[in-house]
Structure 1
């Protein structure tokens, strides 16, 4: 149903937008190549009146979505960390998630919740993603962020660990599902002090009344049935 809704919405958009959507859908991990970026730029310039010639536009279709939606097993995120070179996150800690329930991450502003959310949005397909920045208090060039990510593939009994570096494609098992679907990690910020991670986004409403600030990032379970791997 989500695919149908997206196509119905796309069909109402101008040709250059439909062409841009097609380019995103056709690329692994939805990451545009330089050629695609140039193509989108050329069409935007034409719409803005900067060029006279109208470039050919190929609209998004169901085939493009099926080509990038995977027949491969999906996965659930189990943990993030240790993390290196990201903001001021401690490098020797691991943030673990429930694989069948809700995990609540709470802490004071600046304690690291948003940093882990940014990592998750980079690893899992998301409508928006923020840059992963280094420690602004350190002098010199900042190396790219690096994180050990563990995920449990569908049908597997043990998590798969992968060290991922910002600037490279995320693990295909995590990036093959939209950020908001039940088959992958989803995240939302409820307030300045609470973030929620859940393999089943439909359960978000059960956690909306939770606000438990702490002096440092802490993970807690909302459901007794939740388990971690």
Structure 2
């Protein structure tokens, strides 16, 4: 299986004009800021995600995938968890596979981005397979208008940086396909647990409405 490489391409920040002033207000959980844990899979895009989430007002902690156990991370009691992109397979991504299962099972809303998305599928019995490398390219996607896509237009453009995909013919029944780009699953969502994954990069300069997607995740 080929590792997902090339994430340094296009890893630039932009000011996404699709977010309202209310979405830019601090993300709150009750009377305090939302605590958001980011599992870093040693990827250049991780801090793009961190910057976006910080601009949305989240209180952030970033832990690399081999520097803590999931039990220890659960003890920190995050309100939200994001598992980042990375230049490897789910099997080589430290605690990512376990994190994508156990945080949602604990009732903590979780988002997997690229490698995190692939880890989500595999953690629940899905299969990740090789695909023609797509690095620094854009694609239009269609979506179900729920979750991170709430209120967003169809056929929006997203940035892609991957050589692995989730195999649709082996997608577990516990998932619904939330977004597609051609013949590739671009988003999945668990039918019962608070977790979804996106194959594309909402934090990329190439993605439309990326900030709004992350705002919707924090607000869920």
| Both structures adopt the same fold (TM-score exceeding 0.5) | no
TM-score where L is the length of structure 2: 0.23
More strand by share: 2
- Which of the pair has more CA radius of gyration? 1
TM-score normalised according to structure 1 size: 0.23
